[in-house]
Structure 1
Amino acid sequence: MTRPAFHLAFPVDDLARARAFYGGVLGLPEGRSSDGWVDWDFHGHQVVTHLVAGPGLGAAGHGTVDGRPVPVPHFGLVLDVEAFHDLARRLAQAGTEFVIEPSLRFEGQPGEQWTMFLLDPAGNALEFKAFRDESRLFAR
């Protein structure tokens, strides 16, 4: 049995910058593409960056999690702890400006996790997180 995969589409205003970020900085393999979109293998899931002109890019607002503002809407991926820290280093080396720096939240609680938020070049909000104990992903 294969695991379920999701498909998500993001608006971007520049496919070359999207390729540099998603392919270069995040290191995602590129799939099919056209003059108007690029498919990315997002750890076994399909993320598509669609070229969109005009307004509508970026986060619409903020919610609050653990006392900190987080961009909404946002898209996230749960990684293992080692992959999370490897990605955090790669992002920092690329000069990424974090919305929320890589940090540990909910320490000592059932949902203890490493998290970081950043924006892609078009302003789409991304979250990456890692649970010390992945079996606690939905723990209360």
Structure 2
Amino acid sequence: MSLSPFHLAIPVYDLAATRTFYGEVFGLSEGRSSTQWVDFDFYGHQLVIHEHPKTASQESVHSNPVDGHNVPVPHFGIILEWAQWEALAERLKSFGTAFVIEPYIRFKGQVGEQATMFLFDPCGNALEFKAFKDMSQLFAK
């Protein structure tokens, strides 16, 4: 399966802290930048952080219950290979990352078995990172 890269621009009210977070904690490569925005290579996709006043969702987090966890809404992320997800979870832990939902396995031994974790960037943008034991089950019910 061949996917086209997506472009996502998100608001950040502390450009310097968020630039450090995506660059150092995640180890993402920077692309172009200005004094008000920075492009990152987000696993082959273009993530742009734009300086912006604090938004309502950054001010007050909304969540929906999913499998006994409070999942922050809105959120975005990427689906990684299993080993990449495990390595990222360890990397984030080594940086002392505070998780909204600690790394865990959903549907263990079932159709759609997946690893997931949720966290916030320094400006309150929620991220989810997933991996599937069998990528062909990405949309399995």
Question: Into which bin does the TM-score normalised by the smaller protein fall?
Answer: over 0.9
Structure 2: gaps spanning 5 or more residues: none
Partner of 2:132: 131
In the alignment of these two chains, the number of paired residues is 140
Partner of 2:44: 44
Partner of 1:94: 95
Aligned-residue RMSD, C-alpha: 1.6
Equivalent position amino acid for 1:127 in 2: E
Mapped partners of 1:13, 1:95: distance in 2: 22
Equivalent position amino acid for 1:111 in 2: G
Residue by residue, what CA displacement relative to the aligned partner does 1:46-91 show, whole Å, maximum 9, x if unpaired? 1100001244352641112222110000001100111101111110
2:12·2:54 contact (CA, 8 Å) conserved in 1? no
- Using structure 2 for the length normalisation, give the TM-score: 0.93
In the alignment, does 2:11 pair up with 1:26? no
1:14·1:51 contact (CA, 8 Å) conserved in 2? yes
Mapped partners of 1:92, 1:15: distance in 2: 23
Shift of 1:10: 1.0
Counterparts of residues 44-123 of structure 1 (less than 5 Å): 44-56=44-56, 58=58, 60-123=61-124
Mapped partners of 1:4, 1:24: distance in 2: 26
1:28·1:40 contact (CA, 8 Å) conserved in 2? yes
Structure 1: gaps spanning 5 or more residues: none
Mapped partners of 1:127, 1:4: distance in 2: 20
Mapped partners of 2:133, 2:73: distance in 1: 25
Distance 1:137 1:54, change over 3 A: closer
Shift of 1:136: 0.6
Mapped partners of 1:126, 1:60: distance in 2: 13
Shift of 1:109: 2.2
Equivalent position amino acid for 1:68 in 2: H
Q: Secondary structure at the match of 1:122?
A: coil
Distance 1:67 1:54, change over 3 A: closer
Percent sequence identity is 58
Shift of 1:9: 1.1
Mapped partners of 1:96, 1:49: distance in 2: 19
